Amino acid sequence: MIEPNIPLSQPDVTDADIDAVVSVLRTPRLSLGPKQAEFEEALAAYAGVPHAVAVSSGTAGLHLALLALGIAPGHEVIVPSFTFIAVANAVRYVGAQPVFADIDPETLNLNPASVEAAITPRTRALIVVHTFGRPADVPALLDLARRHNLLVIEDACEAIGAEIAGRRAGTFGDAGIFAFYPNKQITTGEGGMVVTQDAALARRIAALRNHGRYDCRAESVRTPSPETSDNWLEHAELGFNYRLSEMQCALGLAQLSRIDSILARRESIARRYWDRLRQNPDLRLPATDIPNQRLSWFVFVIRLGPSFTQADRDRARRELAAAGIATGRYFAPIHLQPAYAAWRNTADLPVTESVTARTMALPFFNRIADEQIDRVCAALERVLSPKT
Ligand SMILES: *Cc1c(COP(=O)(O)O)cnc(C)c1O
């Protein structure tokens, strides 16, 4: 019997989610309507911040947060290399220079000492990423930012619902960003959200996502009125089309309404992997319980022991693929990507380089069955055991 393949990730879309999207399609408001406002309010309330602005992706959110905070050519922004490439790309979109700092080998988040060593007179900001949904060392990084007068942008794209001392990740910095690509904890297909305590910053980001307009009523629902001037074609500054459609906002709202059960399900999947694999001396597993923090499980990334090389890891991944099991290479460091050839020798990142050679993301999604988890674990142990 050929067993069905197990994907790395899979969106969890229910009939209620589908109904929510379809009902928007029966209205005349397909963009800039009530679902956007509702989704923004619901996410702001969930995160515990006064303002949220929906955008077309997490990357768009990073771009607009940097732009609205005044990051510009001549500035340096410190970022991890052990993360998704959009983090560094967004810095380049505003003409600034990403500067890479190394990570802590245990948390896989920015190492404050490495960040401090990367600061120069041109450094203006720091992007703090909560990698794989595990909160970064926010107290130390905020303290460092305060001492050096740096802005803090929190990339919480992998960490919706994570907490530090009871406060949600994404709400500590000058701006925080969430993302809703299909592999994230909740999805809108494509989408993102910027959250902030600062009303003026939120207003500016809302204008920048809509071609630089401060009037954000949808054109499709405008009715002629002699009293109000039509300023739909007034553009205060150079903007972008980074809007999220009403269908996407309706999907986001429906998904957000289930987030507690989604995060609980993901935690139980992580615990099953952990219980099943913890005795294996070849593996280093992600921590499941951290004092004073709540994790939001984005992916389950294991690390092979120091006796394994990158070639061993890649061979194991190929053998798992041959057994119908997808895995991910989380992460390939940004400073070693061809798109970052000019940065290759600017950074000394020994932890990033050693960790990335031996990491592997296992299949992880809400609807994975217990038998599938067990099959992944059995296959993993088989491909790692020495051939005799
Ligand atoms: C997913 C993700 C993003 C945003 O990705 P989009 O595909 O643009 O939504 C940004 N940063 C990190 C760390 C991510 O994991």
pLDDT single digits (tens) 45-76: 999 999 999 999 999 999 999 999 999 999 99
The verdict on pTM exceeding 0.75 is yes
Examine residue 69 and state whether it is found in any structural domain, yes or no: yes
Mutate to test the pocket of ligand 1, among 55, 59, 127 (most ligand atoms within 8 A of CB): 59
The residue count for the chain = 388
Q: How many other CB atoms are there within 10 angstroms of residue 362's CB atom?
A: 24
Count: domains in the chain = 2
269 lies in the same domain as 231: no
- Each residue's pLDDT, cut to its tens digit, for the chain (388 residues) gives 567 799 999 999 999 999 999 999 999 999 999 999 999 999 999 999 999 999 999 999 999 999 999 999 999 999 999 999 999 999 999 999 999 999 999 999 999 999 999 999 999 999 999 999 999 999 999 999 999 999 999 999 999 999 999 999 999 999 999 999 999 999 999 999 999 999 999 999 999 999 999 876 676 666 666 666 667 778 889 999 999 999 999 999 999 999 999 999 999 999 999 999 999 999 999 999 999 999 999 999 999 999 999 999 999 999 999 999 999 999 899 999 999 999 988 889 999 999 999 999 999 999 999 999 999 999 999 999 876 5
221 lies in the same domain as 300: no
127 lies in the same domain as 208: yes
Question: Residue 10 has which token pair?
Answer: 């899979």
Q: Report which protein residue has its CA nearest ligand 1's atom 6.
A: 58
CATH of the domain at 209: 3.40.640.10
Examine residue 159 and state whether it is found in any structural domain, yes or no: yes
What pLDDT is recorded for position 234?
Answer: 80
Ligand 1 centroid, distance to 217 Cα (angstroms): 28
243 lies in the same domain as 267: no
* Three-class SS of the chain: CCCCCECCCCCCCCHHHHHHHHHHHCCCCCECCHHHHHHHHHHHHHHCCCEEEEECCHHHHHHHHHHHCCCCCCCEEEEECCCCCHHHHHHHHCCCEEEEECECCCCCCECHHHHHHHCCCCEEEEEEECHHHCCCCHHHHHHHHHHHCCEEEEECCCCCCCEECCEECCCCCCEEEEECCCCCCCCCCCCEEEEECCHHHHHHHHHHCECCCCCCCCHHHCCCCCCCCCCCCCCCCCCCECCCEHHHHHHHHHHHCCHHHHHHHHHHHHHHHHHHHCCCCCEECCCCCCCCEECCCCCEEEEECCCCCHHHHHHHHHHHHHCCECCECCCCCHHHCHHHHHHCCCCCCHHHHHHHCCEEEECCCCCCCHHHHHHHHHHHHHHHCCCC
Ligand 1 centroid, distance to 337 Cα (angstroms): 17
248 lies in the same domain as 365: no
Q: Which atom of ligand 1 is nearest to the CA of 192?
A: 9
Mutate to test the pocket of ligand 1, among 131, 157, 177, 329 (most ligand atoms within 8 A of CB): 157
Examine residue 135 and state whether it is found in any structural domain, yes or no: yes
307 lies in the same domain as 345: yes
User: Which of 225, 256, 287 lies at the terminal end of a domain, its last residue?
Assistant: 256
Examine residue 9 and state whether it is found in any structural domain, yes or no: no
135 lies in the same domain as 227: yes
Q: How far apart are CA 333 and CA 355, in angstroms?
A: 10
User: Which of 226, 256, 286 lies at the terminal end of a domain, its last residue?
Assistant: 256
Examine residue 188 and state whether it is found in any structural domain, yes or no: yes
Q: Report which protein residue has its CA nearest ligand 1's atom 2.
A: 157
190 lies in the same domain as 230: yes
Examine residue 122 and state whether it is found in any structural domain, yes or no: yes
Among all residues, which ones are annotated catalytic? 184
146 lies in the same domain as 26: yes
183 lies in the same domain as 283: no
Examine residue 64 and state whether it is found in any structural domain, yes or no: yes
Q: CB within 6 Å of ligand 1 — which residues?
A: 57-59, 83-84, 86-87, 129, 155, 157-158, 179, 181, 192
Note down the domain range covering 156: 15-102+109-256
Ligand 1 centroid, distance to 179 Cα (angstroms): 6
What pLDDT is recorded for position 346?
Answer: 85
Examine residue 263 and state whether it is found in any structural domain, yes or no: yes
Tokens 């980074």 belong to residue: 242
Ligand 1 centroid, distance to 2 Cα (angstroms): 35
173 lies in the same domain as 271: no
158 lies in the same domain as 286: no
Ligand 1 centroid, distance to 56 Cα (angstroms): 11
CATH of the domain at 300: 3.90.1150.10
User: Which of 214, 240, 256 lies at the terminal end of a domain, its last residue?
Assistant: 256
Q: How far apart are CA 140 and CA 138, in angstroms?
A: 6
Mutate to test the pocket of ligand 1, among 77, 87, 130, 181 (most ligand atoms within 8 A of CB): 181
What pLDDT is recorded for position 198?
Answer: 97
